[in-house]
Amino acid sequence: MPDRIIRPATPADIPAITAIYGHSVTTETASFEFEPPSEAEMARRMAAFVEAGFPYLVCECGGTVLGYAYASNWRPRVGYNHTVEDSLYIAPDAQRQGVGGALLRALIAECEALGFRQMVAVIGDSRHLASIALHAREGFTIVGELPTLGHKFGLWLDSVLMQRPLGPGATKPPSRPLR
């Protein structure tokens, strides 16, 4: 079996990224979107994050994209510029095979190298125990839960907030400039 490779996403990855996310939107509660975005919309989103200086990664094996992860701004206010939110989606047949952990570790490393100091995970459903456990294994702690925040598939859904320091975290002033 070929080795897994984690690399920056490219426009050529958009069909696979769109399919992975579309499956999640239509069958899972990780995202609160109801309609899968088009390839054009997913390309627009990826370009916006990359142009803003955030990492956007894919994990591939033998030319097949198994999953993707990206960081984005936590909130738009300038005081939050040192904090990112992670997003992580894995193809259905690649779940529970270490792809998520490999992507999350690579995303954390990229964000640390860029000088970000905190990473927040917003888990779209408190019943998504695999995602909560994955983040906990990578150093995240639960910092809050927002009960019945969303509604999808006839269910009221909680959001679990998890946080992890990056690099020196809050022990030193930030070194990256404000955007």
- DSSP state letter for 30: S
Backbone φ and ψ for 66, nearest 5 degrees, come out as -95, -25
* Residue whose token pair is 């954390």: 108
Give dist(CA 30, CA 153) in Å, integer: 12
pLDDT (0 to 100) of residue 173: 87
Residue 74, number of CB atoms within 10 A of its CB: 19
Structure-block tokens of residue 144: 């809050």
- DSSP state letter for 166: -
Q: For the chain, 179 residues long, give each residue's pLDDT as a single digit of tens.
A: 579 999 999 999 999 999 999 999 999 999 999 999 999 999 999 999 999 999 999 999 999 999 999 999 999 999 999 999 999 999 999 999 999 999 999 999 999 999 999 999 999 889 899 999 999 999 999 999 999 999 999 999 999 999 999 999 999 988 776 66
Domains and CATH numbers, the chain: 4-165 (3.40.630.30)
Question: Residues 109, 20, 37, 9: is their CA dihedral positive or negative?
Answer: positive
- DSSP state letter for 76: S
pTM of the model: 0.95
B/e letters for 112-132, b = 16+ CB within 10 Å, e = fewer, are eeeebbbbbbbbbbbebeebb
Residue 40, number of CB atoms within 10 A of its CB: 10
pLDDT (0 to 100) of residue 174: 86
Contact in structure between 62 and 5 (CB atoms under 8 Å): no
Give dist(CA 106, CA 100) in Å, integer: 10
